[in-house]
Amino acid sequence: MSNAITEIQDTKCLLVFGYNAADSHPVVARHINKARANGAKVIVVDPRKIESARVADQWLALKNGSNMAVVNALANVLITENLVDQNFINNYTEGFEEFKAVVEKYTPESVEKITGLKAEDVRMAARTYAAAPNAMILWGMGVTQYGQATDVVRGLAALALMTGNFGKRGAGCGPVRGQNNVQGTCDMGMLPDVYPGYQKVTDDAAREKFEKHWGVKLSPDEGYKITDLGHKVKDGSCRAYYIFGEDPAQTEADLAHLRKTLQAMELVIVQDIFMTQTAEMADVIFPATSWGEHEGVYSSADRGFQRFSKAVTPPPGVKTDWEIFCLMSQAMGYPMSYENTKEIWDEIRELCPLYAGATYEKMEGLKSVQWPCPTEDHPGTSFLFEGNTFSTPSGKGQFIAAEWRAPMELPDGDYPLVLSTVREVGHYSCRSMTGNCSALQTLADEPGYIQMHPSDCEKYGVKDQQLVWISSRRGKVISRISANERVNKDVVYMTYQWWIGACNELTIEHVDPVSATPEYKYCAVKVEGIEDQAWAENYVQTEYSNLKSKLRTAARG
């Protein structure tokens, strides 16, 4: 995020795009409520009437898969109605003319059929956004989990650029993250193309710095993305897969394909705290400590480093992630060893100019230190781009436009409904950490729910709370109908953490060309009622018991 999460309260306009804070981040939802109470205008762009939409000044219920068209239409209105900050554009940005040429034809009127939005509503939203002295855009997985994701992110950033909404408090862009510490994994170089601190592996100077410090030769080539692995294992270029803190057999798109990839690997190592379905397929399992059993540093979505301490002593024989990495490294012939996490953190600070001043001492007492924090006397950075200098080679903000592309798999006669995968507040991510909590089980349990508009329920002859089959070209699962007036017609929604009603058996591995994130938000499915509900209830219980007993047996070893 370009701004601290707390700055949400300081903004005068919030454009919430494809982001359901109430279910994903209740803490951010609270900040959105406070912004409203402080007089901010709130515009929500989401196909569902999510909690923020319910209390927003304006809710734009766009059609699923039309993000780019909506963003281009908003940009079109800002430009044609002369609501832009020309001074900011002239002095601090580049590429505006090329951008303008692309969005010129995206009048809200011309894209009404694609977006499902009345032109006048889009115009009103653009005017509200431009009228605010400072405005923030928040977006979530409703933007990034599409085949056209990076383009939309650039488009949203362009809205902020053309209205001068960067470089000041309460003005900017907030891509809230999908999971706790996703920001941290990016910050620490878990992306295939960067070292810690966003230093490119292809940058000779950066690579030489790390080579010198670590005393090893490093590859100048970018690594593989998780979505590349299917092809890499097929052509023999990747044969081992070391997974930690992740459950791809639950969370990846098109699970049948993912299982084939795992099976084709010569070696699968899983480092986790529970026997997940991924761990069950592993050749080697390293039991690791959970968040309460070790110490470390998290990065929150707003670039804030926060230290946390160990609260519980782990069971014997269980090691922390960093100790396991050191042992693995030693076993492979590289003498990696550290005394404690502070030693590791200080090495990170030494090698990453962005984090150099974020000392353990500064984080003492639950304080958050936001990078960039270049020196020890620097307090950290609440908002980026002060003085309107951007982190591009020229220092100028770049306008990059793109044409709208339709999602990959459109509904048809055989699969007439769109499936979009979403979150629910009670369960965290793949649910390995929350699935055993009785309170959360009480609120929602297997096989999970498929949210469907009441008129679609009638159309397909299914009733609220009934079990149904949902199938796509890739798989078939059972789930329970939740008749829900807040969702739009012709689209169904499922949360992705259920074992029996696993919606990722259905999703498609169509990825964004830059981020390589799959299109979790759009694939074609059909829903079929089940005559014998008693049989179906029994089937769910049996399947769930069998799966649990399989994992229990695997855990015993």
User: What is the rounded distance in angstroms from the CA atom of residue 116 to the CA atom of residue 61?
Assistant: 8
User: By the 8 A CB rule, do 62 and 107 touch?
Assistant: no
Residue closer to another protein by CB (options 36, 319) is 36
Residue closer to another protein by CB (options 22, 73) is 22
User: By the 8 A CB rule, do 42 and 70 touch?
Assistant: no
Q: Dihedral of the CA atoms 328, 331, 337, 342 (nearest 10)?
A: 0
* Residue 300, CB-side half-sphere exposure with 13 Å CA sphere: 20
The nearest distance, CB 196 to another protein, in angstroms, is 33
Residue 486: left if φ>0, alpha if ψ -120 to 50, beta else—which one? alpha
The nearest distance, CB 304 to another protein, in angstroms, is 19
User: What is the rounded distance in angstroms from the CA atom of residue 17 to the CA atom of residue 271?
Assistant: 35
The nearest distance, CB 23 to another protein, in angstroms, is 8
Amino acid at 553: T
The set of long-range contacts for 103-110, using a CB threshold of 8 Å and a minimum separation of 24, is 103/72, 103/75, 103/76, 103/79, 103/401, 104/76, 104/79, 106/69, 106/72, 106/73, 106/75, 106/76, 106/404, 107/73, 107/76, 107/80, 108/73, 108/76, 108/77
The nearest distance, CB 178 to another protein, in angstroms, is 18
Residue closer to another protein by CB (options 192, 454) is 454
User: What is the rounded distance in angstroms from the CA atom of residue 39 to the CA atom of residue 272?
Assistant: 45
The nearest distance, CB 33 to another protein, in angstroms, is 5
Residue closer to another protein by CB (options 364, 485) is 485
Residue closer to another protein by CB (options 360, 544) is 544
The nearest distance, CB 540 to another protein, in angstroms, is 16
Amino acid at 193: D
The nearest distance, CB 34 to another protein, in angstroms, is 9
The nearest distance, CB 50 to another protein, in angstroms, is 9
Residue closer to another protein by CB (options 1, 21) is 21
Among the listed residues 522, 533, 461, the one whose alpha carbon sits nearest the alpha carbon of residue 146: 522
Amino acid at 94: E
User: By the 8 A CB rule, do 334 and 216 touch?
Assistant: yes
Residue closer to another protein by CB (options 96, 498) is 498
Q: Beta partners for 194?
A: 200
User: What is the rounded distance in angstroms from the CA atom of residue 188 to the CA atom of residue 301?
Assistant: 14
Among the listed residues 138, 152, 3, 123, the one whose alpha carbon sits nearest the alpha carbon of residue 58: 123
How far is residue 418 from each of residues 250, 251, 410, 507, 535, measured CA to CA in Å?
20, 19, 8, 10, 27
User: By the 8 A CB rule, do 415 and 472 touch?
Assistant: yes
State the residues that interact with another protein by CB under 8 A: 21-22, 26-27, 29-30, 33, 36, 49, 51, 54-55, 425-426, 437-439, 441-443, 445, 485-486
The nearest distance, CB 166 to another protein, in angstroms, is 29
Stretch (H or E) spanning 241 = strand 240-244
The nearest distance, CB 5 to another protein, in angstroms, is 14
User: What is the rounded distance in angstroms from the CA atom of residue 149 to the CA atom of residue 170?
Assistant: 24
Residue closer to another protein by CB (options 11, 33) is 33
Residue closer to another protein by CB (options 432, 484) is 484
Residue closer to another protein by CB (options 55, 410) is 55
User: What is the rounded distance in angstroms from the CA atom of residue 59 to the CA atom of residue 56?
Assistant: 6
Residue closer to another protein by CB (options 54, 473) is 54
The nearest distance, CB 443 to another protein, in angstroms, is 6
Residue closer to another protein by CB (options 434, 533) is 434
The nearest distance, CB 21 to another protein, in angstroms, is 8
What number of other Cβ atoms are within 10 A of residue 60's Cβ?
23
The nearest distance, CB 197 to another protein, in angstroms, is 33
Residue closer to another protein by CB (options 296, 447) is 447
Return the ∠ at Cα 281 (arms to 277 and 287), rounded to 5°.
75
User: What is the rounded distance in angstroms from the CA atom of residue 452 to the CA atom of residue 455?
Assistant: 8
